[in-house]
Each structure stands twice: as C-alpha cells, then as structure tokens.
C-alpha cells in the first residue's frame, strides 16, 4: 500500500432531509416552543456565561435541530442558568426550562449523579 501522505477528508455539509433526529423530536415534545426560536441572538448577547465563553443558546438550539449536538453540547455546560436569556427572548421561550430539558434529553445517563468537586 502506497503512503500517499493524505486521504479523504470528512465533509462539513449538513445533510438533514432524511436524517432521523429522535432526540430533537423528544425535545420538541417536551418543549414545543423550541421551534419558535427566530435566531435573533438576544440570548447570546445577554448571556452571563457568554461573557466569558463562546456560549450561545441560539446556536445550541440550531445545532440540535440540525442533529449536530456533539459539537455544541459542551458549550451548554457553561450555562449558569441565570435566566437572563428568558427575560430578553422576544418569542417568550422559557429558555431555562429548555436548557434543563436539553440536559434531560441529551445528557448522558451515567452523568446522573454528579461528581462532587
């Protein structure tokens, strides 16, 4: 086998038409308002954690819709649940509960019991 020194690289293109997204469907069942998001970014702009990190709830919601949770969930772990996003959301989404629900739907079962620091 020849060592070419390179190979096929993964594609970034989102393919969403036939992709089953049962996790998001479950989230939608729990949080019907999640589809009301208009990606205005108010949440991101006011985010307490966003002041120190890349945290953006808008992006989290979109990424979950696109089935790209892996890349985005670490971001959500920065959330301090302060609730400012809820105050600024023009669509009145209960963002705090949404964040908690995302944890319930996407969280890992083995992380149920939190490890004390």
Cβ(38)–Cβ(91) under 8 Å?
yes
The answer to whether 20 contacts another protein (rule: CB under 8 A) is no
Q: What x/- string results for residues 51 through 90 when contact with another protein is judged by CB under 8 A?
A: xxx----xx--xx-xx-x-xx-xx-xxxxxxxxx-xxxx-
For the bound state, the minimum distance from the C-beta of residue 61 to another protein, rounded and expressed in Å, comes to: 10
The answer to whether 11 contacts another protein (rule: CB under 8 A) is yes
Which one, of 33, 23, 30, lies nearest residue 94 by Cα? 33
Residues that bind another protein (rule: CB under 8 A) add up to a total of 76
The DSSP letter of residue 76 is: H
For the bound state, the minimum distance from the C-beta of residue 13 to another protein, rounded and expressed in Å, comes to: 5
The answer to whether 18 contacts another protein (rule: CB under 8 A) is yes
Nearest 5°: the CA angle 114, 95, 84 is 95
Please state, as a whole number, how many other Cβ atoms lie within 10 Å of the Cβ of residue 86: 19
The answer to whether 22 contacts another protein (rule: CB under 8 A) is no
């Amino acid at each position: 086998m020849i060592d070419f020194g390179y190979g096929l690289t993964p594609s970034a293109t989102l393919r969403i038409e036939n992709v089953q997204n049962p996790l998001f469907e479950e989230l939608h069942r729990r949080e019907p308002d999640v589809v009301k998001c208009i990606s205005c970014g108010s949440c991101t702009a006011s985010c307490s954690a966003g002041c120190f990190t890349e945290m953006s709830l808008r992006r989290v919601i979109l990424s979950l819709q696109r089935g790209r949770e892996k890349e985005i969930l670490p971001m959500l772990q920065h959330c301090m649940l302060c609730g400012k996003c809820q105050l600024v959301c023009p669509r009145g989404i209960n963002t705090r509960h949404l964040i908690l629900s995302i944890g319930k739907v996407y969280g890992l079962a083995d992380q149920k019991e939190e490890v004390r620091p």
